[in-house]
Amino acid sequence: MFYPLTHNLHQDGILRTSVAFPQANAEQQEQAESMLSAIMQALNYVGVMAMECFITPEGLLINELAPRVHNSGHWTQNGASISQFELHLRAITGLPLPAPVINAPSVMINLIGSELNYDWLKLPLVHLHWYDKAVRPGRKVGHLNLTDSDTSRLSATLEALSPLLPGEYASGIIWAQSKLK
């Protein structure tokens, strides 16, 4: 089973923002599922595996495989009926694996070297996942998930969130808003 393909924005080699929709491009989704299925079967792999790809004129080109839960799937904590974390645990313990249901677009913002700001929680669509790590430059300390069936409301919430984050997040928010149009 697979989650829909997720659009990712990387800056300085770090995932900053992800946008996921209930339905991905069908041709790309089919190609990704075919490639990853072949890899997982060849490895006899059980559990969640993330696959990052570049979109090329010839189709998808694999950039990275992560045999574990991955930050590009953190949106599933609030945007899917079953998160990548629960699905992984179910897979490795032999529990039933229901197909995830995704009903609305989601955005994930990686918090990198940012201080905790409880004002984020004043925005009704924002879900905070804080890792309780010491804050240091370049360190992933948490993420924010936003999910809503109304993409204009999602975009407006991102707009309201922008001044509550350090300036370097603005380009990721603008990128996410462009994906939601």
Q: How confident is the model over 96-124, as pLDDT tens digits?
A: 999 999 999 999 999 999 999 999 999 99
> What is d(CA 132, CA 100) in angstroms, rounded to the nearest whole number?
28
How much of the chain is in helix, strand and coil states, percent to nearest 5?
A: 40, 25, 35
CA dist 148 and 128 (Å) reads 15
The predicted model gives 112-139 an average pLDDT of 98
> What CATH number does domain 6-180 carry, 3.30.930.10, 2.30.30.30, 2.60.40.10, 3.30.470.20?
3.30.470.20
pTM attached to this predicted model: 0.96
H/E run at residue 39: helix 26-43
Question: What residue segments make up the domains of the chain, in order of their start?
Answer: 6-180
Mean pLDDT value of segment 150-161: 99
Q: How far apart are CA 139 and CA 46, in angstroms?
A: 29
DSSP string over 61-128: EEEEEESS--GGGTTHHHHSSS-HHHHHHHHHHT---PPP---S-EEEEEEESPPP-GGGGGSTTEEE
Distance from chain centroid for Cα 20: 7
The whole-number pLDDT of residue 56 equals 97
Mean pLDDT of the chain: 98
Per-residue model confidence (pLDDT) at position 179: 98
Predicted confidence band of residue 160 (pLDDT cuts 50, 70, 90) = very high
| pLDDT of res. 130 | 99
**Residue 61 · residue 32 · CB < 8 Å:** no
State mean pLDDT over 39-67: 97
Q: What is residue 118's predicted lDDT score, i.e. its pLDDT?
A: 98
Segment 40-69 mean pLDDT? 97
Residue 13's alpha-carbon distances to 8, 9, 21, 103, 180, in angstroms, are 11, 10, 23, 30, 23
Give the pLDDT score at 101: 98
Cα distance between residue 153 and residue 156, in whole Å: 5
Give the residue among 24, 14, 15 at the shortest CA–CA distance from 179.
Answer: 24
Q: Region 51-68: what's the mean pLDDT?
A: 97
User: How many of the other CB atoms lie within 10 Å of CB of 124?
Assistant: 10
Q: Residue 151 phi/psi, 5° resolution?
A: -65, -30
